[in-house]
Homo-oligomer: A and B are copies of this chain.
């Protein structure tokens, strides 16, 4: 970590700061130029509060040279992590094709969709049981019953399942769930992250709507610092000024994350774009830039309700997406 002191900092002020830093078990390498003084901090700087340091009156700016995350950092773990969800491997060349309905609605629905997407090549089944909704008056999901139905679909198809947790007090319900999803709104629910860090479940961690790539990695670090290294990162669109799509899918995050971390990265084009017609091209683009998987919403027609017509592909559309993704993965390999 480098701290640049402002012009006009007195020797005494600088020394005060240096002493404080040394108290934190850091070595401080001082370089005094004609105009400015640069402090090089050596040691475990992950405990240094960068925002605090940079807001001190005598400090012009602070620059991390080493990243603040360790266990998620590719520098200390050069090989791709491969996460195991049931029989399915994710990362290190293994592609996760995750598909299923937005919400679990009834047994018939979830089993039909599961069988259909499996046939098209999906290797993991998704489905919402606990649904985070902006409005307290909107449907909040089938909750425990939704998880039960997902487990039925798992039994029927053999597909491992992924579903979202919202409240740590419901953790027991996820015992047979293969991957626990942390939604975008909970990406910085640190207590939830720490509790999940004490399990050994694979966690799919979605990037928050307005969170940076580094903050996503710091949230992964929260989980890993408690011992659970089974993390899959998920890019699902960020909030920008553009309104033509629900969010702006930041696909550059895929290669950026691959440089910074060994964890696998999947992409959710359904939630990012919010429109069926954009899912196939963005799924293809995700595969082309090296994503380790995609997660898409698929619904089977009107067996349950109009309710999943939203951003979901039909089984036929999904079949085409799956085939195209396979061809692209061959083209880039």
Output the residue of A136, A238, A272 with the most chain B CB within 10 A.
A136
For the complex formed, measure the closest distance between the CB of A145 and the CB atoms of chain B, giving whole angstroms: 18
For the complex formed, measure the closest distance between the CB of A144 and the CB atoms of chain B, giving whole angstroms: 14
In the complex, are the beta carbons of B20 and A29 less than 8 A apart?
no
In the complex, are the beta carbons of A255 and B282 less than 8 A apart?
yes
Q: How far is the CA of A244 from the CA of B307 in the complex (A)?
A: 28
Check if A248 is an interface residue, CB within 8 A of chain B: yes
B35, B190, B278, B332: the one within 8 Å of A133 (CB): B190
Check if A65 is an interface residue, CB within 8 A of chain B: yes
Q: How far is the CA of A282 from the CA of B332 in the complex (A)?
A: 12
Which residues 246-273 in A have Cβ within 8 Å of B in the complex? 246, 248-256, 259, 272-273
Binding site for B on A (CB under 8 A): 2, 4, 7, 16-17, 20, 29, 31, 33-36, 38, 40, 42, 46-47, 49, 51-52, 55-57, 60-61, 63, 65-66, 68-69, 132-139, 166-169, 185-186, 188-191, 194, 208-210, 212-215, 218, 221-222, 225, 238-246, 248-256, 259, 272-278, 281-282, 284-290, 306-307, 309-311, 324, 327-328, 330-332
B36, B185, B288, B332: the one within 8 Å of A189 (CB): B185
Q: How many copies does the complex hold?
A: 4
Q: Closest 9 interchain pairs by CB?
A: A210-B210, A288-B288, A31-B31, A167-B191, A285-B285, A281-B289, A285-B289, A327-B331, A185-B188
Would A259 and B282 be within 8 Å (CB), given that A52-B307, A186-B189, A209-B210 are in contact? no
Query: Chain B residues with Cβ under 8 A from A60's Cβ?
Result: 65
Would A221 and B259 be within 8 Å (CB), given that A40-B36, A239-B210, A242-B238 are in contact? no
Residue of B nearest to A218 (CB): B134
In the complex, are the beta carbons of A190 and B284 less than 8 A apart?
no
In the complex, are the beta carbons of B281 and A288 less than 8 A apart?
yes
In the complex, are the beta carbons of A38 and B35 less than 8 A apart?
no
Q: How far is the CA of A190 from the CA of B190 in the complex (A)?
A: 15
Query: Chain B residues with Cβ under 8 A from A29's Cβ?
Result: 31, 33-34
Would A282 and B277 be within 8 Å (CB), given that A40-B38, A63-B63 are in contact? no
In the complex, are the beta carbons of B244 and A241 less than 8 A apart?
no
Query: Chain B residues with Cβ under 8 A from A311's Cβ?
Result: 55
Query: Chain B residues with Cβ under 8 A from A241's Cβ?
Result: 210, 212, 238-241
- What are 7 A-B pairs with beta-carbon distances under 8 A? A29-B34, A55-B311, A169-B169, A185-B189, A251-B285, A252-B273, A285-B289
Would A255 and B281 be within 8 Å (CB), given that A38-B40, A133-B190, A136-B225 are in contact? yes
Query: Chain B residues with Cβ under 8 A from A242's Cβ?
Result: 212-213, 238, 250, 253
Q: How far is the CA of A51 from the CA of B212 in the complex (A)?
A: 20
B238, B240, B259, B328: the one within 8 Å of A331 (CB): B328
Residue of B nearest to A183 (CB): B188
Q: How far is the CA of A188 from the CA of B239 in the complex (A)?
A: 15
